[in-house]
Structure 1
Amino acid sequence: MSVVLSTAPLSASDRADFWQDAVSRTFVPIDVDLHENEPATATIVSRRVGFMQVSTVTAGPQTAARTSRMIARDGKEAVTLTLMHRGTAERSQDGRDAVVNPGQFSMSDSRRPFGKSLRQAFSLTAFHFPRSALGVSDPELRAVTATPFGQDEPLSALLAGHLKRLGGSAESVAPAQADRLAAVTCELLACLIQERHGRLAPQEPAAIEAMLLRVKEYIVRRLADPDLSLVEIASAHQVSLRYLHKLFETEGVTAARWIQQQRLERCRKELARTMSSAPTVAVVAHSWGFACASHFSRVFRLAYGLSPREYQAAARRGSR
């Protein structure tokens, strides 16, 4: 069942106080300053999905701030994730300022001061839940407050789509599934936070090893493609670039360097062929993803101490 709080029945002079109380009761105590001389109608429609509260907010321009005094007085420990639909939000917390556009989402932690400014009419969906449900460390959460997330990375895009669907169907979620759905939402968010923070869980070495193996197999199948990029590799495995780099740190090498090593080794084997029909240096370089012949010659010499042509000639002399 939805709970609706609206300023529609009120006169313009009474709307500011009502809205301040409505926002504070729905989320956490907060100071709200409306920017219109005659505030437009503002509405909050809230419903429960297990331990999570899902609220659709539609209102006019305003600024809001949660102060240290409020935090000391109420002691609430909650996280609010906000998905923007219309308008732009300027968020600040933990020393960061961010602009959150439609289709993006961001987070705030009620345990520390934060502010937000919405300079035009807006619509958003807010997902409000206990801090304890998230299961991430304080440094991890601090690292991502007032940070916009959207479609730029696979995991954040996945979560944005999930939030949009959840916001649209929260009213129809069966009570028996509500807590589980809320837990899944928090788990997806925790994965995103930990990924953005750059943490590889040391308690899961098998999972890390399996992911690294899948990534390597993917790369090897595409070595011949000169356009193979780290962005493509990360996207194909639904991880961030930061996570991809962390995976290869366990090997003591960068991802780009590992790819180059694989290409060079395959080129070396091709150049070592002693048959009269052995391919030329240019053909070998191109066939293993080197688009620039001079670059290939330079990195080959650095790796093996000879230029590709010198290596090929030495291989043929050795066979004779």
Structure 2
Amino acid sequence: MSVVLSTAPLSISDRADFWQDAVSRTFVPLDVDLHEDEPATATIVTRRVGFMQVSTVTAGPQTVARNPRMIARDGKETVTLTLMHRGIAERSQDGRDAIVNPGQFSLSDSRRPFNKVLRQAFSLTSFHFPRSALGVSDLELQAVTATPYGEDEPFSALLAGHLKRLDGSADSVAPTQADRLAAVTCDLLACLIQERHGRMTPQEPAAMQAMLLRIKEYIVRNLANPDLSLVEIASAHQLSLRYLHKLFETEGVTAARWIQQQRLERCRKELARTTSHAPTVAMVAHSWGFASASHFSRVFRITYGLSPREYQATARRHSR
């Protein structure tokens, strides 16, 4: 269900204060300075996709800033990915300045000051999620804020295409698939961040790195399929099994082990959720592609040191 905030019903004199409050409540506390003496109509349409918030903003020229006082006051740890549709954004954070054009996206981290100047009417979509969902280091994240990403490189083009499709279908995502889709988005973004920070093997040709990222995206999208096999993955990308194994050797892990790690991590996150109706271990295992609940329990204990039930019970106790 969408939540719409609009200045359309308000008088010209009331729009600035309303917009300041609307922007801060939708994202994080921000200073908003409108560049128009008579502010044009502005709207924010917000949808939830699992733990991710998707907000489309259409407004007139303005400057948006987050300062140390606001950071100290609210302490929110969120990351916002902003995809520009119309207009140009001038972004600043972590000592960098960037121009973000339509079709490009950029990142900001709520834990440090940032500034965004929009000198003309604009339209954008922001994907807003908890910092903890990314699973990247602070150093990696700081290296990629206030940087424009578009479709001129394989990695960012892959994510840009995913974001555009998600933006167009956010309203129709089934609740049962929402968290999974949010997790896939975070995983793809984490891959981009880590690649840009140089975590992927620098000696490998760019084509191999691009292929590996496409394969990872395919795997993440199909984790719930218990019949997902290395033969299918190789065939879908017109590769030999031998070449598929060679690609994952650059990661220091086998393809099968990487798939198992992804499934285990998603199961762990799902077991840790403190909802009123906690899913059973078998339900969690099957929802992420484990054909056998007993096999899942065995590898979960080996990986995390607790059985799935013990882990789930511990998470619920900590929550209370």
Identify whether the pair has TM-score above 0.5, normalized to the shorter chain: yes
Kindly indicate whether residue 41 of structure 2 is the aligned counterpart of residue 41 of structure 1: yes
Deviations 1:36-69 (A, max 9, x none): 0100000000010000000000000000100000
Which has the larger Rg?
1
Deviations 1:167-199 (A, max 9, x none): 111000000000000000000000000000001
**CA deviation after TM superposition for structure 1 residue 152, in Å:** 1.4
Deviations 1:76-117 (A, max 9, x none): 000000000000000000000000000000000000000000
Match of 2:139 in 1: 139
Other structure's SS at 2:28 match:
coil
Match of 1:9 in 2: 9
Question: What CA distance in whole angstroms lies between the structure 2 residues aligned with 1:6 and 1:234?
Answer: 47
Deviations 1:275-314 (A, max 9, x none): xxxxxxxxxxxxxxxxxxxxxxxxxxxxxxxxxxxxxxxx
Count, aligned residues: 216
Match of 2:276 in 1: none
Question: What CA distance in whole angstroms lies between the structure 2 residues aligned with 1:67 and 1:170?
Answer: 31
Q: Which amino acid aligns with 2:27?
A: F
Runs of 4+ in 1 over 6 A off after TM superposition: none
Q: Which amino acid aligns with 1:59?
A: A
Kindly indicate whether residue 149 of structure 2 is the aligned counterpart of residue 175 of structure 1: no
Match of 1:120 in 2: 120
Kindly indicate whether residue 202 of structure 2 is the aligned counterpart of residue 164 of structure 1: no
Match of 1:76 in 2: 76
Task: From the superposition, tell whether residues 144 and 236 of structure 1 become closer, same or farther in structure 2 (CA, over 3 Å).
Answer: closer
Question: What CA distance in whole angstroms lies between the structure 1 residues aligned with 2:200 and 2:171?
Answer: 36
Kindly indicate whether residue 65 of structure 2 is the aligned counterpart of residue 65 of structure 1: yes
Question: What CA distance in whole angstroms lies between the structure 2 residues aligned with 1:76 and 1:30?
Answer: 12
Question: What CA distance in whole angstroms lies between the structure 1 residues aligned with 2:97 and 2:152?
Answer: 19
Task: From the superposition, tell whether residues 62 and 152 of structure 1 become closer, same or farther in structure 2 (CA, over 3 Å).
Answer: same
Question: What CA distance in whole angstroms lies between the structure 1 residues aligned with 2:135 and 2:68?
Answer: 24
Q: Which amino acid aligns with 2:40?
A: A
Match of 1:108 in 2: 108
Other structure's SS at 2:187 match:
helix
Match of 1:26 in 2: 26
Other structure's SS at 1:179 match:
helix
Other structure's SS at 2:106 match:
strand
Question: What CA distance in whole angstroms lies between the structure 2 residues aligned with 1:13 and 1:110?
Answer: 30
Question: What CA distance in whole angstroms lies between the structure 1 residues aligned with 2:52 and 2:196?
Answer: 23
Contact 1:153 1:235 in 2 (8 A): no
Question: What CA distance in whole angstroms lies between the structure 2 residues aligned with 1:79 and 1:177?
Answer: 22
Percentage of pairs with the same residue: 83
Stretches of structure 2 that go unaligned for 5 or more consecutive residues are 214-246, 251-320
Other structure's SS at 1:182 match:
helix
1:295-306 to 2 correspondences below 5 Å: none
Q: TM-score, normalised by structure 1?
A: 0.65
Within the candidate set 200, 211, 218, 1:237 is matched to: 211
Contact 2:93 2:114 in 1 (8 A): yes
Contact 1:155 1:238 in 2 (8 A): no
Contact 1:50 1:175 in 2 (8 A): yes
**CA deviation after TM superposition for structure 1 residue 234, in Å:** 5.7
Question: What CA distance in whole angstroms lies between the structure 1 residues aligned with 2:208 and 2:152?
Answer: 12
**CA deviation after TM superposition for structure 1 residue 200, in Å:** 3.1
Other structure's SS at 2:149 match:
coil
Question: What CA distance in whole angstroms lies between the structure 1 residues aligned with 2:148 and 2:31?
Answer: 23
Question: What CA distance in whole angstroms lies between the structure 2 residues aligned with 1:158 and 1:50?
Answer: 21
Other structure's SS at 1:237 match:
helix
Contact 1:51 1:179 in 2 (8 A): yes
Question: What CA distance in whole angstroms lies between the structure 1 residues aligned with 2:17 and 2:165?
Answer: 32
Question: What CA distance in whole angstroms lies between the structure 1 residues aligned with 2:212 and 2:150?
Answer: 14
